[in-house]
């Protein structure tokens, strides 16, 4: 995924920054503990597409 695209992406829920987790192919909002999937290189930036993460999910690590 294009890093420049990541710069303009914000969480649709809290408008906060997202962290790209390349191994899992998701964008993670740490504040909301949501993982937004990336399909065919396109981030799915709808809240209903996001997967909730447990507080101890390793995707929440920096």
Q: Which residues bind Zn ion (CB under 5 A)?
A: 11, 13-14, 16, 29, 31-32
- Shortest separation between residue 27's beta carbon and Zn ion, angstroms: 10
Q: Which residues pair with 39 in a beta bridge?
A: 42
- Shortest separation between residue 29's beta carbon and Zn ion, angstroms: 3
Say whether 60 sits in a helix, a strand or coil. helix
**Please, which residue, 40 or 43, has the CB nearer to Zn ion?**
43
Give the pairing type, strands 19-21 and 51-52: unpaired
- The residues, any chain, with a CB within 8 Å of residue 13's CB and separated by 6 or more, are 29, 32, 34, 47
**Please, which residue, 16 or 58, has the CB nearer to Zn ion?**
16
- Shortest separation between residue 3's beta carbon and Zn ion, angstroms: 20
């Amino acid at each position: 995924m294009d890093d420049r695209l990541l710069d303009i992406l914000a969480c649709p829920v809290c408008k906060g920054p997202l962290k790209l987790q390349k191994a899992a192919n998701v964008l993670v909002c740490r504040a909301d503990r949501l993982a937004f999937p990336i399909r065919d290189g396109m981030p799915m930036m709808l809240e209903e597409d996001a997967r909730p993460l447990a507080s101890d999910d390793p995707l929440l690590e920096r």
